[in-house]
Amino acid sequence: EELTVYKHNALTASGARVPVELGFSKALPIEENQEFTQENSAYPGLIARWVQKPYINCYKDDDPTLIQEIKEMFDQPSTEDYNFEDLDGNMYGEIGHPKDVDDLVFGGQLKNGFFIEAGSVDGETNSDTLYYELKYKWTGLLVEPDPIRYMVGKTKNRKAYSIQNCLSVDTKPQFVDFDLNAVWRNDTTGDRMSDGGIVTDGRSNTTRMQCLPLYSMLLALGNPTVNWISLDIEGAEFEVLKTVPWDKVDIEALTVETHMLGTVFPGDRLEFIEYMKSVGYRHLEGAHKGTTELREELGTVDDLFVRQDVPLAEERLQSNVKDEL
């Protein structure tokens, strides 16, 4: 809708000037939904299809219209049997993050929890959430922007909600330039140094993606208690988390990839750590110690944050001992 306002100082019978505003509105044409397809030679016969809805970019993150749209975008938890290729090789994620969090925070005691994994790839490869889903019957939300990876992920039959989307760095949905291949490449060789993600440098060969606010997704799920978030979105982590109204959500712990902060958006790792402290989270320095040769080469760092009121596993144990005494 376009609103035109005319302002005028009208002359009254007494000779005084009074400001008067006249408004006229007209409906603007709505940009039509746009459907896209993508194929990949690595997956013959697999065609990814997705739809972008430009009009929802007008809505704030808590608008009921937007929330309803997102509800309809979710794929529901599968009722089919799992279909994994290498469960043993992926049960603990790439380097054991889920076990780290369980040992430090939940102590093996939390059943039927709720996770969010943003950057969930195909729902199996290096998955940070398979451990909780299979061992403790958690469910949650898998977020993956790459259309082909997402379609492959649907064949795994995960018992969690999923959505083919990226996370917005604004409190509204937004269109972004998304490099599906790599955000970061070696300056000399051009080799990939990261996965795909949002880019802002005007490079060519990007895909226009429509990203949704994390808070909107939470509301579309009923704003559940989220026991753990695994956030690996190639440099946009800080910007995304700054959109979260922390007083309106219940997020207990987060593991965040932080070594790429400052490469796409402002704010480096140290600034991010201070930000998380300011919104009520403690930083567990060195919580994730696992590594690989490639991670060492890339300088990959992941940080664990736990909300101040959430007891760590050791604190829970000490409390139980006191109760028994």
Residue type, 186: N
Residue 27 has pLDDT above 60, yes or no: no
Instruction: With H, G, I as helix, E, B as strand and everything else as coil, classify residue 250.
Output: coil
Overall residue count recorded for the chain in this entry: 325
Write out the two tokens for 301: 């760092």
CA 228 – CA 148 distance, rounded (Å): 26
196-217: b (≥16 Cβ within 10 Å) or e: bbbbeeeeeebbebbbbbbbbb
What does the pLDDT look like over 207-232, one tens digit per residue? 999 999 999 999 999 999 999 999 99
Q: Where are the alpha helices (DSSP H) in the chain?
A: 64-73, 87-90, 97-101, 130-136, 147-154, 214-220, 237-241, 269-278, 293-298, 313-324
Residue 14 CB partners (closer than 8 Å, separation 6+):
none
**Structure-block tokens of residue 235:** 């440099």
Mapping DSSP to helix (H, G, I), strand (E, B) and coil, where does residue 204 land? Answer: coil
Q: Which of 125, 117, 320 is nearest to 227 (CA)?
A: 117
Q: Strand 281-284 and strand 2-11: pairing?
A: unpaired
pLDDT at 227: 98
- Note whether 192 and 230 are within 8 A (CB): no
Instruction: Note the pTM of the prediction, 2 decimals.
Output: 0.88
DSSP sequence for 251-307: B-EEEEE-TTTTSSSS--HHHHHHHHHHTTEEEETT------HHHHHHT--EEEEEE
Per-residue pLDDT of 43-93, as tens digits, reads 888 899 899 999 999 999 999 999 999 999 999 999 999 999 999 999 999
Residue 224 structure tokens: 């559940």
Residue of 87, 176, 169 whose CA lies nearest to 135: 87
Note whether 98 and 129 are within 8 A (CB).
yes
Other beta carbons within 10 angstroms of residue 136's beta carbon come to 17
Regarding predicted confidence, which is higher, 302 or 320?
302
Flag the least confident range among 173-177, 181-185, 240-244.
Answer: 181-185
Per-residue pLDDT band at 321 (split at 50, 70, 90): low
Three-point CA angle 173, 226, 238, nearest 5°: 50
A 10 A CB-CB count for 108 gives 11
For residue 232, the Cα-to-chain-centroid distance in whole angstroms is: 8
pLDDT in tens, 238-296: 999 999 999 999 999 999 999 999 999 999 999 999 999 999 999 999 999 999 998 99
Cβ pair 116, 128 in contact under 8 A: no
> In 3-state terms, what secondary structure has residue 4?
strand
Q: How far apart are CA 90 and CA 84, in angstroms?
A: 9
Q: Which of 108, 118, 94, 113 is nearest to 229 (CA)?
A: 118
